[in-house]
A and B are shown apart, each in its own frame.
Chain A
Amino acid sequence: DAGITQSPRHKVTETGTPVTLRCHQTENHRYMYWYRQDPGHGLRLIHYSYGVKDTDKGEVSDGYSVSRSKTEDFLLTLESATSSQTSVYFCAISESMAGGPNEQYFGPGTRLTVT
């Protein structure tokens, strides 16, 4: 998984509780991304980062926030989890902006269940 780890790998939480997912990379790539994957849908971009403290929204950012205080770490926070946020979350990294000529590398995913 190209030097990308995600933690936790599985989590069950209750509606209304805050949740933070962590992505850690050892590749020193500039760009980091959070996606969610749901049955019947393609991966959907939540937020991405183009450097330390530089982040931007993706197509499904409502209810999520992110932070990047170090090159290697990108955190995704669900301030108040809802059942619609039950999903598998993937972190990805790339040397240049997604969609350019460079590949994206994905972490192993975090399965989050909100009850």
Chain B
Amino acid sequence: KNQVEQSPQSLIILEGKNCTLQCNYTVSPFSNLRWYKQDTGRGPVSLTIMTFSENTKSNGRYTATLDADTKQSSLHITASQLSDSASYICVVSGDSNYQLIWGAGTKLIIKP
């Protein structure tokens, strides 16, 4: 069964610290992997889209990595800010029908 699992479910860190969020997937075949940021009460907003051949992709203080062999991805946030408080969702696209498999998300709280 195609699944996307994220860890941890929730995370609290102090402002200015770094953190890494994990995503493991069993989707096969694979087309691409996305990370979304969802602020409370808002719709998801795309951070990155990575294809099979991309190992690392950055968007400002956000860096996503992808290991297609182990089917793992991570999202690293550098020098966290209060505005980074949000849910971060990993989404994987299967190549067969472009269906998106959504993870349940990691809720990140940044404390001053």
Contact = CB atoms under 8 A, between A and B. Distances in A.
B70 to A, nearest CB: 21
Nearest to A6: B43
For A103, A104, A109, the residue with the greatest tally of chain B CB atoms inside 10 Å of its CB is: A104
A7 B44 CA distance: 17
Contact of A42 (B31, B51, B101): B101
Interface size class of B (residues with CB under 8 A): 20 to 34
Given A98-B98, A99-B99, A100-B98, A107 B43 contact: yes
Interface in B64-82: none
A59 to B, nearest CB: 8
B44 A106 contact: yes
Interface size class of A (residues with CB under 8 A): 20 to 34
B98 A43 contact: no
A106 B45 contact: yes
For A40, A42, A45, A105, the residue with the greatest tally of chain B CB atoms inside 10 Å of its CB is: A42
Interface stretch (B12-20, B55-63, B102-110): B102-110
